Amino acid sequence: MSAEPVAQPLVGFRRWGCKRGGLYSGIFVAGRFVPNPALGMVAPRVRPTPWPTDHDRVAKCFALRGHDAPFPDCNCGWAAYYSLATEPDLPAPECVWGAVVAWGRIVECETGFRAQFARPLALLDRENPDDIREQGRRAAVATEAYGIVLLERDELIAYARWYGEVRMAAE
């Protein structure tokens, strides 16, 4: 397996930790969101930065022995799944789901891909019952910050198809 440039942009679906309008990569552990654990490991005092709102960003790798992201035997690159569950899981109050368009060099796997370039297209309009603090406004605030739209699931998938190939299995 290698990172191959794709001819046509790919569309995928992913979740972020969303805080004050910023969309952060990270992991969800025991009901909590942990932004960018790889960066935290090598540089614990560096504050995680959200996905950019104004320009497309090239993916970086935070592994100690660096390489161009995405790299097949790593987990770097902008990651997304090919499909979006009917009711995507919401493992923490900060969790929001959305669609991304990705291009450049891409590492593909069975359930999704990791890409050199990506940007958010739209966020999923779905109530997160655990989000007491922001009472469902979290995704709406982020869509304003990123200049993207907030859509229900079917609309989100249809919208994403305008931007690239959706490899989601038909339901």
Report the C-alpha gap between 47 and 55 in whole angstroms: 20
In the bound complex, what is the minimum distance in angstroms from residue 73's beta carbon to Zn ion? 8
Among 76, 100, 102, 106, binds Zn ion (CB under 5 A): 76
Told to check if 74 binds Zn ion by CB under 5 A, we report yes
Binding part of the chain for Zn ion, among 63-71, 119-127, 148-156, 161-169 by CB under 5 A, reads 63-71
Choose which of 63, 141, 145, 149 interacts with Zn ion (CB under 5 A).
63
User: Do residues 1 and 72 touch, judged by C-beta distance below 8 A?
Assistant: yes
Candidates 4-12, 74-82, 111-119, 159-167: pick the segment binding Zn ion (CB under 5 A). Answer: 74-82
Distance CA 10, CA 29 (A): 28
Cα 132 from Cα 28, distance rounded (Å): 18
User: CA 143 → CA 11, 12, 119, 135, distances in Å?
Assistant: 18, 17, 12, 15
CB 107 within 8 A of CB 70: yes
**51 versus 71: smaller Cβ distance to Zn ion:** 71
- Interaction of residue 168 with Zn ion, rule CB under 5 A: no
Among the listed ranges 25-33, 60-68, 95-103, 117-125, the one in contact with Zn ion (CB under 5 A) is 60-68
Contact between 118 and 9 (Cβ < 8 Å): no
Q: Does 58 bind Zn ion (CB under 5 A)?
A: no
Nearest to Zn ion of 71, 117 (CB atom):
71
Judged by the rule CB under 5 A, the positions of this chain that interact with Zn ion are 61, 63, 71, 74, 76
